[in-house]
Amino acid sequence: MDPARQVLTDGALVYEGGRIVWLGPARELPQLYRHAPSTSLSGRVILPGFVNLHTHAALVILRGIGDDLGVAPAYSPKVPQGVFLSPEDVYCFSLLGGLEALRFGTTCIVDNYIYADQVAQALAELGLRAVVSERLHDADLFLVPEGRYEFETARGAALLARNLDLIAKWEGAAGGRIHTRLGPHAPDTCSPAYLEQIRQAGEQAHVGYVTHLAQSRREVAQIAARAGQSPAAHLETLGLLGPQMIAGHCIYIEEDDKQRLAQTQTQVVHLSGSNAKGGMMAPIRDLRDGGVNIGLGTDNMAGDMIEVMRLAVCIARMRGEDNQALWALDALEMATLGGARALGMEAEIGSLEVGKRADLVVIDFRQPHLMPVFDPVANLIHNGLGSDVEQVYVDGELLVENGRFRQIEAGPVMAEAQARATTLWAALGGLPTRSV
Ligand SMILES: [Zn+2]
């Protein structure tokens, strides 16, 4: 992912103090490094770590059920919604979601959920790089699925105060691995006055924002009724579009919205898998052609960035009925440098270049589904699996080795998550029935 998009064969990479200090053909390795401790990785491919630009790690609680509940399943009245979860639940599920992300090669995760303090704690303990925010809304989320919007100032204020505490506590924490943002949930679930307040808070705290934008027809209809605008135009009016905003989904956008996102340099995150499960496709090729920076995210109940890269390619090709609409390398760029740019962290992460952080993923290509190799990027995106990740490093720290976690035992986390999820679903009277 360097500017020349080089693929080095028989390469060597040297890191020191958490940063890449040299990379190039192995035969040119400087004498200085010849006797340094080293690992031979023949048959493997080293990539920049993946940046999962939009997720809610704790929503693993909905896995296998929410996947079939349509758009934004986390707000369905049939599921254990965030307010039913304790901070301890959020911590446990975030550990599980974070383990999944790490196992599949994510080194930087952008998470938005309630009790973000616990999310930050879990992700920091796992050694991940993370950007966290509290889920901010002043609408009553229980009523939104019925199309009813009731705003309560006290609810919004309490959540905003919690997000500001998060920023004070976590910005730059864990050796600089943790960063913070403000997380206005969506244009429809935040009143205009509340969005204005959030914008001002972001300017004062010098942090950016993450949100969901043009995610559902209900949101579009609500903003049309409330403001006579599209959701993107609404955010622009309130001063919330711009390079500091990372907008997830962007499905229901018209031509003028595409220009609006490009002109304001708003960052867009393509949630290819999550959109597809809800039966939707975002116009990512158009946005990209218009000059919008695009990152990739897994959103709910999944953490495999290789899968969402493949889905991004397939969906762009399906949507345009054009088998050249997006290439493997485009998807890899979105999943690495695109995400880094969106975060304003492209000088630090997103590519393998001297001076950047040693956030590395090692993929084992010595497997039937990845051989023969001529174009490793195409093999990875079209045929790779998250489980092909063999090693993961953040800041030069080896966190996954031979597919196993070095810092933490996954067994007890999985057992506790199963127990907590069982209790939470049982409290709702059991799992929702599906018409199959
Ligand atoms: Zn989301």
What integer pLDDT is reported at residue 432 of this predicted model?
79
3-class secondary structure per residue, 79-91: CCCHHHCCHHHHH
Q: Answer whether 245's CB lies under 8 Å from 218's CB.
A: no
Residue 354 CA to ligand 1 centre (angstroms):
33
Q: What percent of the chain has pLDDT over 90?
A: 89
Two tokens at 405? 């976690």
Residue 308 CA to ligand 1 centre (angstroms):
14
Residue 271 CA to ligand 1 centre (angstroms):
8
Q: For residue 6, name the pLDDT band (cuts at 50, 70, 90).
A: very high
What integer pLDDT is reported at residue 434 of this predicted model?
63
Q: Which residues pair with 51 in a beta bridge?
A: 108
Number of C-beta neighbours around residue 264 at 10 A: 18
Give Cα 430 to chain centroid, integer Å.
Answer: 30
Cis check for the bond before 372: say yes or no (omega within 30 of 0): yes
What integer pLDDT is reported at residue 64 of this predicted model?
85
Residue 22 CA to ligand 1 centre (angstroms):
37
Residue 436 above 70 pLDDT? Answer: no
The mean pLDDT of 222-243, rounded to a whole number, is: 98
Segment 54-81, tens digit of pLDDT? 999 999 998 988 888 876 777 777 788 8
Residue 209 CA to ligand 1 centre (angstroms):
13
What integer pLDDT is reported at residue 431 of this predicted model?
82
Segment 15-63, tens digit of pLDDT? 999 999 999 999 999 999 999 999 999 999 999 999 999 999 999 998 9
At 168, the amino acid letter reads A
Give the residue carrying structure tokens 């059920």: 65
Residue 94 CA to ligand 1 centre (angstroms):
15
Two tokens at 122? 């879990």
Cα separation, 150 vs 96, whole angstroms: 33
Q: Answer whether 339's CB lies under 8 Å from 309's CB.
A: no
Residue 64 CA to ligand 1 centre (angstroms):
17
Residue 172 CA to ligand 1 centre (angstroms):
24
Residue 69 CA to ligand 1 centre (angstroms):
15
Q: What is the model's pTM?
A: 0.97
Residue 297 CA to ligand 1 centre (angstroms):
9
The H-or-E segment that residue 22 falls in is strand 19-25
- Sign of the CA dihedral running 95, 101, 104, 105: negative
Residue 275 CA to ligand 1 centre (angstroms):
10
What integer pLDDT is reported at residue 430 of this predicted model?
80
Residue 330 CA to ligand 1 centre (angstroms):
22
Residue 74 CA to ligand 1 centre (angstroms):
9
Question: What b-and-e string marks burial along 209-248, b requiring 16 or more CB atoms within 10 Å of the CB?
Answer: bbbbbbbbebbbebbeeeeebbbbbbbbebebbeebbbbb
Q: For residue 146, name the pLDDT band (cuts at 50, 70, 90).
A: confident
Segment 282-292, tens digit of pLDDT? 999 999 999 99
Two tokens at 269? 């995150």
Segment 333-370, tens digit of pLDDT? 999 999 999 999 999 999 999 999 999 999 999 999 99
361: buried, middle or exposed (CB in 10 Å: 19+, 13-18, 0-12)? buried
C-alpha to C-alpha distances, 108 to 33, 60, 173, 181, 248, nearest whole angstrom: 28, 18, 14, 14, 16
Residue 137 CA to ligand 1 centre (angstroms):
14
- Sign of the CA dihedral running 210, 119, 344, 157: positive
**DSSP annotation of 299:** B
Cα separation, 207 vs 166, whole angstroms: 12
Question: What b-and-e string marks burial along 288-302, b requiring 16 or more CB atoms within 10 Å of the CB?
Answer: beeebbbbbbbbbbb
What integer pLDDT is reported at residue 26 of this predicted model?
96
Q: Where are the beta strands (DSSP E) in 250-388?
A: 267-270, 294-296, 360-364
Segment 297-318, tens digit of pLDDT? 999 888 999 999 999 999 999 9
The mean pLDDT of 200-213, rounded to a whole number, is: 98
Residue 361 CA to ligand 1 centre (angstroms):
25
Alpha-carbon Rg for the chain, nearest whole angstrom, is 21
Residue 11 CA to ligand 1 centre (angstroms):
38
Residue 97 CA to ligand 1 centre (angstroms):
14
Residue 153 CA to ligand 1 centre (angstroms):
23
What integer pLDDT is reported at residue 65 of this predicted model?
84
Residue 402 CA to ligand 1 centre (angstroms):
31
Residue 129 CA to ligand 1 centre (angstroms):
19
Residue 428 CA to ligand 1 centre (angstroms):
23
The mean pLDDT of 195-202, rounded to a whole number, is: 98
- Mean pLDDT of all residues in the chain? 95
What integer pLDDT is reported at residue 81 of this predicted model?
82
* Nearest by Cα to 292 from 247, 226, 335, 234: 247
Residue 381 CA to ligand 1 centre (angstroms):
23
Q: For residue 433, name the pLDDT band (cuts at 50, 70, 90).
A: confident
The H-or-E segment that residue 321 falls in is none
Residue 400 CA to ligand 1 centre (angstroms):
26
